[in-house]
């Protein structure tokens, strides 16, 4: 199932937290990226089950800002 087709049909869509999304990224499941730029979500589509795992971009990257701060010298 392709991402655009999956987003237009009634599939099982599950919102996950950042830790679960990262675990899915490195898992051995047959997943493909299935992002929705208009909704600002990142998604992973499981081609075997049709489940789309979704997280909002803001939640995925919210803790990254402190790492970008300059270290005072």
Q: What's the pLDDT score for residue 60?
A: 85
Q: What's the pLDDT score for residue 61?
A: 79
**Reported pTM:** 0.73
Within-domain flag for 20 = yes
Domain holding 60, by residue range, is 3-68
Within-domain flag for 63 = yes
Rg from Cα positions in the chain: 15
Q: What's the pLDDT score for residue 23?
A: 94
3-state secondary structure of 72: coil
23-64 pLDDT per residue, tens = 999 999 999 999 999 999 999 999 899 899 999 998 887 765
Q: What is the CATH number of the domain that holds 61?
A: 3.30.720
Within-domain flag for 73 = no
How many domains in the chain?
Answer: 1
Within-domain flag for 7 = yes
Strands 31-33 and 13-15: unpaired
- Tell me: pLDDT of 68 over 90: no
């Amino acid at each position: 199932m392709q991402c655009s087709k999956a987003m237009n049909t009634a599939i099982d869509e599950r919102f996950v937290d950042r830790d679960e999304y990262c675990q899915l990224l490195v898992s051995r499941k047959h997943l493909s990226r299935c992002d929705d730029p208009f909704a600002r979500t990142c998604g992973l589509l499981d081609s075997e089950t049709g489940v789309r795992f979704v997280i909002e971009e803001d939640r995925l990257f919210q803790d990254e800002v402190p790492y970008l701060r300059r270290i005072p010298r």
